[in-house]
Amino acid sequence: MKTFLGSCHCGAVRYEADIDFSEGTSKCNCTFCTKSRMWGIIVKPAAFRLICGRPELSDYYKAGGAVHHLFCKHCGIRAFEEGYLEVLGGDFIKINVSCLDTIEARELAQVRVTYMDGRANNWFSPPAETRHL
């Protein structure tokens, strides 16, 4: 477990999160994640601290969905998301790994990535093609 700092592009939204990368990260092929290039890792809310920027966030929430896709109103970056899924143990925060400011490239290169077939609503299986993710 290590504490990382993260932010949106313009810095209006900043946070710190306690992350255990041994659990791995995920990339999904659903249309939303594919278009936004989300590379995520899940943490519990107690491991996440928003330093500043709550008023600077807009929320895209698809009716019936499980995730609030939060993004900075100024630069448009999705630095993290908030959601609730029983299968994930209830409330969770999904950190956008690409928005972590205090992680080294060599650390990122060693992180395990699990691919999910969200496009076929088969979340716990990889899609046939992952090279574009």
**How many Cα neighbours within 13 Å face the side chain of 88?**
19
CA 114, CA 23: separation in Å to the nearest integer?
A: 10
What is the mean predicted confidence (pLDDT) over 105-114? 93
Cα distance between residue 22 and residue 45, in whole Å = 18
Domains along the chain with CATH numbers = 2-120 (2.170.150.70)
CA 115 – CA 122 distance, rounded (Å): 11
Query: What is residue 78's predicted lDDT score, i.e. its pLDDT?
Result: 95
pLDDT tens digits for range 20-63 = 999 899 998 888 888 888 999 999 999 999 999 999 999 999 88
Helix, strand or coil, per DSSP, at residue 23: helix
